[in-house]
Structure 1
């Protein structure tokens, strides 16, 4: 009986079964030598899987052996090691390959600005440090040197923790791309040594008293703007503050909001008029239901706007300078911990106020298109109503054990 044969990896790997044998064998030819092994599998599907893994291991070992030989030859001849001498791809080539793949594979699924940030990380920071090195020389130690260099930059401006994390994500993606192409055997360890748990700081928000002051200040601006030509902008800004604090929208979601995305409806459960909003943001399409207090500012906005098209923007671009001016006048630009307040703080205010009122945290997370974990981590940890004083301070009455004589009498 003739041997059964199959091939893998573009014909480089042969899988076959000899006569009078129930196990499948595999073979690959590398660097002038034929490697053979038994898969110890009698089923073809399992044998093909084992053969593929075995062949990839042999290919990796062969490349590592060639790499070691090139290093030894360079040392013996006192020849400077260059990417050409080592027959290795440079980090710059790996980065270019990654970006080419990334643009195509994430088209329509990633925000254009997010893709631009990948290019910016590479151009400004990663390529100047790793660019000319062979990608195989990017080790865990070299990555640690990069961290130290970024944190001790000459400008004296220390990058934020999240900024450095994003650069590490881009670096890891480049190395994974190089690994897929077979330019490196494995991705090096990129975990940060000496890492401690990051401080969990609450997001900047407006307490109920501070929000009342902010709303009163924006209302006064809407009634009496400093320049009459600013009246329309001040009125829109006042409505923006009230709607944002009663819906929990992200600022970018509010800027993209169109007239057709917002409806005034009567809630069947509470019989109150609320806004029902179809949100298009970083999480795709979601839905949001406002509090009743968001209806009045939206109707004011519609009355001022008059006849409008369904595709007209509700807010458009909001003047950030106006928000900063109002906050500076009220002394509310920073909270007590020094965290700056921005338009995003209105979303945080919505979440915190709902939690203060005892709203279900799962429903708040769904309405804000985020996770319960995020709310527990950044909001619920500093909301006092999340602690039950009765459960904390209550004292259970200890039960007295009956005496032995009474136990015998009742027996």
Structure 2
């Protein structure tokens, strides 16, 4: 036998504000205080029907241990953003999270779920969101966005959006933030149990970064050196084809081309024997090469240098191989010839003939790779200047350097080393994986 409901007058009251014909209701839930809701109608009977529905939903939510008031996803998300800012102020979160996570939540999470009640969001909704997010910049709302505004060092900047599918790591990172938001909603009593976030990033192809095998690097160096001398010294000259299908032969390198190729060769050698990132290479000044001036004029065996690396939002000191030192000497000489003076500490290491910082050698590097027939690795992945850093790390692992030392010297994490170079590390312990008892 069901329990009779209390009369309407004890469940809720209808009223109209002064000067308005719209009906509203108010009622109380034990432990949650008084709740007021607009019924958005002038009709008394319709107002009563809507009031009954709202009251039933509110009491049911209260019995389930939830807030009687319906909370929209947007409202809860903004409350979560406010919590993030407070945690940043208390040093419980990194400062960059206080900038990146609110922007992510507003653009993507609120952009999709909007004013929907947070407690009706299901696993199906989250799966649909994941697909919407993957195509946001290519087919969704993002295709109409011309630029993204952001702040750096107190300055407001803008950049064009990258119109592509988010990377696997980005999808997983955003899923972590969304999961934290829903769990916080549970703690606040807005949800009973958070839906399972089944935003499974699609398995990617082999993402090991393109490097060089030792014989490939030797070929790259040989090709680079051959491009520093006059082509085909027998007088036939190298054939050149222009975009308009004209052809001619070059019998002698001009000074400008020879200088550019010399700088490129020095870049290849320093990158391969130091492990610096391209940005760190471009940022180098002569003052960043510790111990270099003191060693000039001495033999290579009596010289030692350290590199102050700056780039990718971090800095540190790198210890290069001594094989990199002669190529710093080459760059020093080129600077002296071009500027008619010795470089000072603030002058860039990789400089043009006018002493200006070179910001990229990507095009020249690609041409060198093509000349050596090394533009792509065995998987068909295009090599870039970053491949020199990967060659350095791979060689260090192969020849027994401790992974912790490599990570510190390259200003990266053990996780990144394991993720991208785990196969190399495995090859180092091949003998341990084939103990004597297994050998025929």
- Contact 1:262–1:277 (Cα < 8 Å) also in 2: yes
> Per-residue deviation at 1:264?
4.0
- Contact 2:398–2:427 (Cα < 8 Å) also in 1: yes
Structure 1: gaps spanning 5 or more residues: 1-30, 35-61, 398-411
Does the C-alpha gap of structure 1 residues 388 and 167 become closer, same or farther in structure 2, counting only changes over 3 Å? closer
Hey, what's the Cα distance between the residues in 2 that align with 1:213 and 1:103?
56
Decide which of 374, 379, 386 is 2:416's aligned counterpart: 374
Does the C-alpha gap of structure 1 residues 394 and 233 become closer, same or farther in structure 2, counting only changes over 3 Å? same
Does 2:206 correspond to 1:206?
Answer: no
Hey, what's the Cα distance between the residues in 1 that align with 2:303 and 2:386?
25
Does 2:347 correspond to 1:312?
Answer: yes
Does 2:252 correspond to 1:217?
Answer: no
Hey, what's the Cα distance between the residues in 2 that align with 1:139 and 1:320?
47
Does the C-alpha gap of structure 1 residues 99 and 339 become closer, same or farther in structure 2, counting only changes over 3 Å? farther
Match of 1:133 in 2: 116
Match of 1:22 in 2: none
Alignment of 1:1-400 (within 5 A): 33=30, 62=32, 88-91=71-74, 94=77, 98=81, 105=88, 119=103, 123=107, 125-135=108-118, 137-151=120-134, 159-169=166-176, 171-172=178-179, 182=188, 184=190, 188=194, 191-192=197-198, 201-223=207-229, 228-264=255-291, 273-282=303-312, 284-306=314-336, 307-315=342-350, 316=357, 317-382=359-424, 385-389=427-431, 392=434, 394-395=436-437
> Per-residue deviation at 1:349?
0.2
Hey, what's the Cα distance between the residues in 2 that align with 1:96 and 1:387?
51
Does the C-alpha gap of structure 1 residues 323 and 132 become closer, same or farther in structure 2, counting only changes over 3 Å? farther
Q: TM-score, normalised by structure 2?
A: 0.58
Does the C-alpha gap of structure 1 residues 100 and 282 become closer, same or farther in structure 2, counting only changes over 3 Å? farther
Does the C-alpha gap of structure 1 residues 390 and 312 become closer, same or farther in structure 2, counting only changes over 3 Å? same
- Contact 1:279–1:286 (Cα < 8 Å) also in 2: yes
- Contact 2:171–2:201 (Cα < 8 Å) also in 1: no
> Per-residue CA shift, 1:262-320, capped at 9, x if unaligned?
12468xxx965343112234473322111111101111111222322322332341232
User: Which moved further from structure 2: 290-299 or 382-391?
Assistant: 382-391
Does the C-alpha gap of structure 1 residues 102 and 387 become closer, same or farther in structure 2, counting only changes over 3 Å? same
Hey, what's the Cα distance between the residues in 1 that align with 2:206 and 2:423?
9
> Per-residue deviation at 1:152?
7.0
Does the C-alpha gap of structure 1 residues 111 and 272 become closer, same or farther in structure 2, counting only changes over 3 Å? farther
Does the C-alpha gap of structure 1 residues 168 and 298 become closer, same or farther in structure 2, counting only changes over 3 Å? same
Hey, what's the Cα distance between the residues in 2 that align with 1:213 and 1:264?
31
- Contact 1:218–1:326 (Cα < 8 Å) also in 2: yes
> Per-residue CA shift, 1:155-208, capped at 9, x if unaligned?
59755423422443454566578789x594589356437779877643210111
Does the C-alpha gap of structure 1 residues 100 and 380 become closer, same or farther in structure 2, counting only changes over 3 Å? closer
- Contact 2:397–2:424 (Cα < 8 Å) also in 1: no
Question: When the two structures are aligned, how many residues end up with a matched partner?
Answer: 326
Hey, what's the Cα distance between the residues in 1 that align with 2:259 and 2:424?
37
Hey, what's the Cα distance between the residues in 2 that align with 1:226 and 1:278?
35
Hey, what's the Cα distance between the residues in 2 that align with 1:75 and 1:345?
67
The residue matched to 1:346 in structure 2 has which SS? helix
Does the C-alpha gap of structure 1 residues 228 and 302 become closer, same or farther in structure 2, counting only changes over 3 Å? closer
User: Which moved further from structure 2: 153-162 or 305-314?
Assistant: 153-162
Hey, what's the Cα distance between the residues in 1 that align with 2:364 and 2:192?
52
The residue matched to 2:434 in structure 1 has which SS? helix
> Per-residue deviation at 1:150?
4.1
Does the C-alpha gap of structure 1 residues 372 and 163 become closer, same or farther in structure 2, counting only changes over 3 Å? closer
* RMSD between aligned residues: 4.8
> Per-residue deviation at 1:245?
0.7
Hey, what's the Cα distance between the residues in 1 that align with 2:126 and 2:311?
34
